[in-house]
Amino acid sequence: MRSVVVYESLYGNTEAVARAVADGLARYGPARVMTPAMLGSGQLAGVDLLVVGTPTHAWGLPRDSTWQPQHGLTAEHRTTAPRVRDWLDTIGPGAGRPAVAFDTRVDKPRWLTGSAAKAVARRLRAQGWHLIGDPRSFLVTGSDGPLVAGELGRARAWGDELGRTLAAPVAA
């Protein structure tokens, strides 16, 4: 099974989750972790599972106006354009292939923080991808992180669960 985990990240928290999900998926076949800028045309051809994640900004998907480091901090892990929001409109038809969405958001009730993963899932569905699970949220302690203790383990376990759903493990 070939998986691609596409993410955008400002402080590195969403990137860390993407890499942990890919670690869980790797037991079932190659799992690449990429940003939209790293993907060229045709990169999703032959992909058996697409996983897409972003941080939650202003209750939804990041946009250029929300993509600024908070509190004057420098964001060393900042993903360059295009944003997942724009990239999802260009990926072409999923033709029913499996996909799933995740986000990172502040550790508060969802009604207070919103969820970018729900918007990602809607856009994937609109492009013809088959969602194989509900959108997932991974929690951070504040807008710039860090991740809540245990979230990377939870992300790895989710990747493993996705892999088990779609394929048998490959021999090591």
Hey, how many other C-beta atoms are within 10 angstroms of the C-beta on 11?
A: 24
Pick from 96, 87, 165, 109: nearest CA to 133 = 165
Q: Residue 79: what pLDDT?
A: 64
Q: What pLDDT is stored for residue 42 in this prediction?
A: 74
Pairing, β 130-131 against β 3-7: unpaired
pLDDT reported for residue 109: 81
Question: What are the pLDDT digits (tens) for 130-161?
Answer: 999 999 999 999 888 899 999 999 999 999 99
pTM given for the model: 0.90
Task: Tell me how far apart the alpha carbons of residues 148 and 144 are, in angstroms, rounded to a whole number.
Answer: 12
Calpha distance 35→87 (Å, rounded): 10
For residue 58, what pLDDT is reported?
65
Measure the CA–CA gap between 88 and 94, rounded to whole angstroms.
11
Q: Where are the domains of the chain?
A: 3-166
99-117 per-residue burial string, b: 16 or more CB within 10 A, e: under 16: bbbbbbbbeeeeeebbbbb
**Regions of the chain short of the pLDDT cut 70:** 41, 58-60, 62-81, 168-172
Q: Which CATH topology does 3-166 take?
A: Rossmann fold (3.40.50)
Rama region for 128: left / alpha / beta (φ>0; ψ in -120 to 50; rest) = left
Q: What is the pLDDT of residue 73?
A: 47
For 66-158, strand residue ranges (E) read 98-106, 130-131, 136-140
